[in-house]
């Protein structure tokens, strides 16, 4: 039976380190959290991030905007936050309502406050191996692999999904650690064939039941990034956990796996930003 990777416990450890470091700064770190519209999942995620801030001694400034907010209004808020010295990090929760360009809004965030690591400047720095911030979910996955002493160098890594938030930066970080990385996506012919070769399989697609036992090599490490709802409304990932667990050597559960680590790595990025601003 596989070792279950305890993301919740590791996240608690990371957050207590962040809290200890934050307490040493002359001024409390600050995060501005911007939520546009009433997407229920986003409301839950944002509330969780604000709770984490409180636990870490980070001040959070919430900005709830109506779904009808114009791009000009949102950009004006981002610019105001860029210039606010109490704000070290700016998080605009995605997805945005359809009439707003995520790209335009992300590009407007000052790179030194881009704690999601979504701005092209920070993505570039990360890809060349000279990061300011690390993307939260991929960094959380790397921290879990390291905590459980899972070797990456020379290993066959397969990432399912090519989003800007997870798939692409995940592939970049695994490559930097000398993994041999294949990225599969919606146009991949026979995804299962690639998945079966993986020593480390990371699924970040968002489709319940995508990863079945026949797609997993005996002894593989399986990381499930997805946050889906099953037919009964329960939180689940992409991986058929019950069927895959007996084949894997290590596996992340959903919930309690990657999710808490994403949030812990956000806290770490806010600390990094605050340290930069208060240096
Ligand atoms: N939506 C889903 N994940 C994320 C994230 O990590 N950051 C932001 N800003 N929005 C998200």
Q: What is the CATH number of domain 27-111?
A: 3.40.50.10860
DSSP the chain: -PEEP-HHHHHHHHHHHHHHHHHHSSS--EEEEEEES--HHHHHHHHHHHHHHHHHT-EEEEEEE-TT--HHHHHHHHHHHHT-TT-SEEEE-SSPPTTS-HHHHHHHS-GGG-TT--SHHHHHHHHTT--SS--HHHHHHHHHHHHTT---TT-EEEEE---TTTHHHHHHHHHHTT-EEEEE-TT-S-HHHHHTT-SEEEE-S--TT-B-GGGS-TT-EEEE---EE-TTS-EE-SB-HHHHTTT-SEE--SSSSHHHHHHHHHHHHHHHHHHHHH-
Give the ligand 1 atom nearest the CA of 94: 10
| Residue 278 falls in the annotated catalytic set | no
| Residue 116 falls in the annotated catalytic set | yes
**pLDDT at residue 134, rounded to an integer:** 98
Q: What is the CATH number of domain 136-259?
A: 3.40.50.720
pLDDT tens across 232-245, in order? 999 999 999 999 99
pLDDT band at 195 (very low <50, low <70, confident <90, very high): very high
Pocket of ligand 1 (CB under 6 A): 91-94, 116, 136, 165
Å from CA of 93 to ligand 1 middle: 5
pLDDT tens across 56-99, in order? 999 999 999 999 999 999 999 999 999 999 999 999 999 999 99
Work out the percent of the chain whose per-residue pLDDT is above 90.
99
| Residue 193 falls in the annotated catalytic set | no
Average of per-residue pLDDT values in the chain = 98
Å from CA of 119 to ligand 1 middle: 13
Give the ligand 1 atom nearest the CA of 116: 7
Substitution site in 116, 118, 135, 138 for ligand 1 pocket (most atoms within 8 Å of beta carbon): 116
**pLDDT at residue 200, rounded to an integer:** 99
Q: CATH 3.40.50.10860 in the chain, residues? A: 27-111
């Amino acid at each position: 039976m596989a070792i279950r990777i305890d993301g919740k416990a590791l996240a608690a450890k990371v957050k207590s380190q962040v809290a200890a470091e934050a307490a040493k700064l002359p001024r409390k770190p600050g995060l501005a959290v911007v939520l546009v519209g009433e997407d229920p999942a986003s409301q839950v995620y944002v509330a969780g991030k604000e709770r984490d801030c409180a636990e870490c001694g980070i001040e959070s400034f919430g900005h709830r905007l109506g779904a009808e907010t114009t791009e000009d209004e949102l950009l004006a808020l981002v610019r105001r936050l860029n210039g606010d010295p109490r704000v070290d990090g700016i998080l605009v929760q995605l997805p945005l309502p359809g009439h707003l360009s995520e790209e335009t809004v992300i590009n407007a965030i000052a790179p030194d406050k881009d704690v999601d690591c979504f701005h092209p400047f920070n993505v570039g720095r990360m890809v060349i191996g000279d990061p300011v911030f690390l993307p939260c979910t991929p960094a959380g996955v790397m921290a879990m692999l390291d905590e459980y002493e899972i070797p990456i160098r020379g290993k066959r890594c397969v990432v399912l999904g090519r989003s800007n938030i997870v798939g692409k930066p995940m592939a970049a970080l695994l490559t930097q650690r000398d993994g041999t990385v294949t990225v599969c996506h919606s146009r991949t012919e026979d995804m299962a064939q690639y998945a079966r070769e993986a020593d480390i399989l990371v699924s970040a697609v968002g489709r319940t039941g995508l990863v079945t036992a026949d797609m997993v090599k005996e002894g593989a490490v399986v990381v499930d990034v997805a946050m889906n709802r099953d037919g009964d409304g329960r939180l689940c990932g992409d991986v058929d956990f019950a069927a895959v667990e007996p084949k894997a050597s290590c596996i992340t559960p959903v919930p309690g796996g990657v999710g808490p680590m994403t949030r812990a790595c956000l806290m770490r990025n806010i600390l990094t930003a605050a340290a930069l601003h208060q240096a």
